Amino acid sequence: MAAAVAPSTTQDVAADNAYAAALDVQKYLQSRLSTTASTPTTAPIRSLPVIDLTPSFSPSRESRQAVAKQIHEACTTIGFFYITGHGIPASVCDGVFELCNRFFNQYPQASKDAIHMQNSKHFRGYEPAAYSSVNDFTSKETKEAFNWGYEAGLDPTGGDGKYVELDGSADGTKNQWPKEEELAGFYEGIAAYYGHVLQLARHLFRLFALSLDLPENFFDPMMTHPGGIARLIKYIPSNNPTPLGETSEDQEIGLGAHTDYECFTLLLQDSTSGLEVLSPDNHWIRASPVPGGIVINVGDFLMRWTNGIYKSTVHRVVNRTDKVRYSVPFFFSINYDEVVETLPSCITPCYRAPSMADDPAAAANSHQIPDYTFPHDGLRRIQNDPDRIPLVLIACGSFSPITNLHLRMFEMASDYAKFQTNFEVMGGFISPVSDAYKKQGLANATHRVRMCELAVDEHPGGWLMVDPWEARQSDYIETAKVLDHFAYEINNVLGGAQRPDGTRIPMRLMLLAGADLVQTMSTPGVWSPDDLDHILRGYGAFIVERAGTDIDDALASLQQYKDNIYVIQQLISNDVSSTKIRLFLRREMSIRYLIPSPVIDYIEQNGLYRDDGTSSIREKDKMKGASSGRSTPGIGSSGEKS
């Protein structure tokens, strides 16, 4: 095709930006292609590994893990590998190649032109030879293609009815298909292959999860309506079937040097060679077809998602033969409407998700306090279920004083996580705010920390802890920074969670709060937008419904974080609050059974929450009881009459 030119001033900004982005990609590719091969630090790679998937279908986790280990090795070195034993019948693979022959060689040109991809804003349909170029807009690419994407009717599971395109549109299928009366059985044959390769991709993603030390079903909720672009491609025979140079791109090209942009690609190729992969030391490796095999390669999205641990590798197609070559690539992605961050097992001290602290160690060290030791005796360090995500719940607040509802919130969240999510709760922390918060009714931080410790000591199971780090700060510390502190101590210092097989994985941290707090997050001017994004995108929240708070209204302006917010219904209503406890105390009313008994004793012993220095609550109760001739229930902790 004719060389593309830069957009004119009459074209819109989007086109201008797209062109600039494409040029940036081309610069990167050319830098790779023009770099002189250097001496590798390890043995040079001159072939792609072959991985037999047969053991991955075994009920034995050990067998599946063994395959995942091979995948990890391939993805961290070359980013390409063959799979055999994948389970797609040979008849289905042969059938899709026959569809290639029928479409490209027997289907009338006028009918192909009627479904030309220029009629689709999603680039679906027929793509003539030399119509597009993957990188520099000038390569004389000789491929001819037919492109289509995910449809619920092609999904053996039936899908979940929520598929959207990358642009967010969801108004039905965007595919253009040949007419059945003109190419009988084409759609049926495509559906047969697509259904098999889609399910294989889902299976592979579970192996990818294992290979990344994630729960095996980590990606499952993200594959219910996935991105799945597929192509039939025909490469014509070469006019001059001679080898290309290792870096030269100035001769016949079937498909120019590029990387794929989805999570990973499954490539079915016929018996004619053509695929070439650029090695880490800049040598082209011929990926000749393996009988019964499919080529798998990592895409740009998965490379970014894994923090660069898995490699998306430059490759190209050059038909060096005098034969026609057919291939059927399938570009697999997660649901296009998913919100993602760096995979938890790929976060390192020098790199974290963009929405989290750039340097957690520096963030923690900037607020050091003397004689501080992070409390973690109640934190479970070894997972029970390797297929779940280890979770730590963190409650920040005044706790003036701590109530039974504060404690009950942890139990409700634990039950919710167990029965409604894929999390495994490893521990819970209470973090009282510092005195610098200066809230009305705020007792001294030393008292509030001690009351929380007394309450936790009575908590069965021993999985709740009180961290005094925030309370002991001389300045007010934002909740976002408090979460960073926990992330640093738990994942960087303690090393996260250990799986039963001895491997380690970072723990997921989430804020635990009442719906009234979330309502303030929806109120303009109360929270910094950056802090909100930091908390809700970088960490997430478990929210317990509270009486008097409309949870739907509270979440209305936080919809961009909806997949990171878990709302817990109170099956037994409890409206106890610290504010009401202080009110009861000022009115000399009983607070027994509303807060932990040791906390009641501590309040009395230290004269907390008195009204203008009047006599203690217990003394007043005694006087009332004496004057009436009977005992009055006070705030005593043991249930005795005061």
pLDDT, tens only, 95-150: 999 999 999 999 999 999 999 999 888 889 999 886 665 555 455 667 899 999 99
Lowest mean pLDDT among 2-16, 283-297, 479-493: 2-16
Which position has the token pair 């034995």? 60
CATH number for position 502: 3.40.50.620
Residues 318 and 433 in one domain: no
Residues 427 and 284 in one domain: no
pLDDT for 434: 94
Does 244 or 587 have the greater pLDDT score? 587
Q: How confident is the model at residue 627 (pLDDT cuts 50, 70, 90)?
A: very low
Q: What is the sign of the dihedral through the CA atoms of 475, 477, 481 and 484?
A: positive
pLDDT in tens, 154-200: 999 998 989 998 888 876 568 999 999 999 999 999 999 999 999 99
> Is 63's pLDDT higher than 90?
yes
The count of other CB atoms within 10 Å of the CB of residue 13 is 8
DSSP, residue by residue, 342-389: S-GGG-BTTB--TTS-S-HHHHHHTT--TT-----TT---B-S-TTSE
Domain count, the chain: 2
What is the identity of the amino acid at 300? D
Average pLDDT for 326-330: 95
Residues 604 and 564 sit within 8 Å (Cβ to Cβ): no
Cα(585)–Cα(188) distance, rounded to whole angstroms? Answer: 75
Residues 412 and 267 in one domain: no
Lowest mean pLDDT among 71-75, 234-238, 240-244, 421-425: 240-244
What is the identity of the amino acid at 350? C
Q: What is the mean pLDDT of the chain?
A: 82
The DSSP output letter for 474 is S
pLDDT for 631: 29
pLDDT for 248: 47
| H/E stretch holding 82 | strand 80-84
pLDDT for 523: 73
- Tokens standing for residue 342: 């760096």
Q: How confident is the model at residue 264 (pLDDT cuts 50, 70, 90)?
A: very high
Does 504 or 190 have the greater pLDDT score? 190
Does 249 or 459 have the greater pLDDT score? 459
pLDDT for 595: 93
Residues 323 and 400 in one domain: no
Residues 69 and 192 in one domain: yes
Is residue 111 included in any domain, yes or no?
yes
Is residue 379 included in any domain, yes or no?
no
Residues 312 and 422 in one domain: no
List the one residue out of 374, 350, 353, 372 whose CA is nearest residue 361. 350
What is the identity of the amino acid at 606? N
The count of other CB atoms within 10 Å of the CB of residue 87 is 13
Residues 196 and 114 in one domain: yes
Is residue 355 included in any domain, yes or no?
no
pLDDT for 243: 61
> Could you give the C-alpha distances from 27 to 137, 212, 246, in angstroms and in order?
13, 31, 18
List the one residue out of 215, 263, 219, 208 whose CA is nearest residue 68. 208
Average pLDDT for 449-457: 94
- Give the residue from 519, 547, 576 where a domain finishes: 576
Cα(627)–Cα(639) distance, rounded to whole angstroms? Answer: 21
Whether this prediction's pTM lies above 0.85 is answered by: no
> Is 5's pLDDT higher than 90?
no
> Is 481's pLDDT higher than 60?
yes
pLDDT for 2: 31
- 541 phi, psi to nearest 5 deg: -150, 145
Range of the domain at 142: 50-333
pLDDT in tens, 395-451: 999 999 999 999 999 999 999 999 999 999 999 999 999 999 877 778 999 999 999
Average pLDDT for 2-28: 47
Q: How confident is the model at residue 469 (pLDDT cuts 50, 70, 90)?
A: very high
Does 445 or 610 have the greater pLDDT score? 445
What is the four-CA torsion angle of 568, 571, 576, 577, rounded to 10 degrees?
A: 10
Q: What distance, in Å, lies between the first and last C-alpha atoms of the chain?
A: 94
Pairing label, strands 389-397, 325-335 = unpaired
Average pLDDT for 514-537: 82
> Is 87's pLDDT higher than 60?
yes
* Helix, strand or coil, per DSSP, at residue 5: coil
Is residue 638 included in any domain, yes or no?
no
Across 284-324, where does the E strand assignment appear? Answer: 284-286, 294-298, 315-317
pLDDT for 236: 86
Sequence-distant (6+) residues with CB within 8 A of 435 are: 442, 444, 445, 471
Residues 290 and 397 in one domain: no
> Is 327's pLDDT higher than 80?
yes
pLDDT for 140: 60
Residues 470 and 396 sit within 8 Å (Cβ to Cβ): yes
Is residue 351 included in any domain, yes or no?
no
> Is 53's pLDDT higher than 90?
yes
Does 35 or 373 have the greater pLDDT score? 373
| Most trustworthy range by pLDDT among 30-44, 362-376, 475-489 | 475-489
Residues 289 and 406 in one domain: no
Residues 241 and 112 in one domain: yes
User: What order of strands is seen across the sheet that includes strand 255-258?
Assistant: 255-258, 315-317, 275-278, 284-286
What is the identity of the amino acid at 35? T
CATH number for position 282: 2.60.120.330
> Is 45's pLDDT higher than 90?
no
- Tokens standing for residue 518: 């979330």
List the one residue out of 118, 75, 96 whose CA is nearest residue 343. 75
Is residue 139 included in any domain, yes or no?
yes
> Is 282's pLDDT higher than 70?
yes
pLDDT for 519: 76
| Residue 585 C-alpha from the chain's centroid | 47
List the one residue out of 131, 140, 318, 340 whose CA is nearest residue 227. 340
Does 357 or 554 have the greater pLDDT score? 554
Is residue 18 included in any domain, yes or no?
no
Does 479 or 14 have the greater pLDDT score? 479
pLDDT for 170: 77
pLDDT for 355: 35
> Is 592's pLDDT higher than 80?
yes
Sequence-distant (6+) residues with CB within 8 A of 118 are: none
- Give the residue from 535, 554, 576 where a domain finishes: 576
- Tokens standing for residue 434: 């510092």
Q: How confident is the model at residue 520 (pLDDT cuts 50, 70, 90)?
A: confident
pLDDT for 374: 94
Give Dmax over CA atoms of the chain in angstroms: 113
Is residue 565 included in any domain, yes or no?
yes
pLDDT for 131: 67
Q: How confident is the model at residue 472 (pLDDT cuts 50, 70, 90)?
A: very high
pLDDT for 517: 79
Cα(485)–Cα(347) distance, rounded to whole angstroms? Answer: 15
Residues 401 and 329 in one domain: no
- Give the residue from 576, 610, 630 where a domain finishes: 576
Residues 300 and 404 in one domain: no
Q: How confident is the model at residue 241 (pLDDT cuts 50, 70, 90)?
A: low
pLDDT for 403: 93
> Is 219's pLDDT higher than 90?
yes
Tally the residues of the chain: 642
Bridge partner residues of 427 (DSSP): 392
Residues 268 and 293 sit within 8 Å (Cβ to Cβ): no
List the one residue out of 203, 86, 114 whose CA is nearest residue 156. 203
pLDDT above 90 covers a percentage of the chain that reads: 50
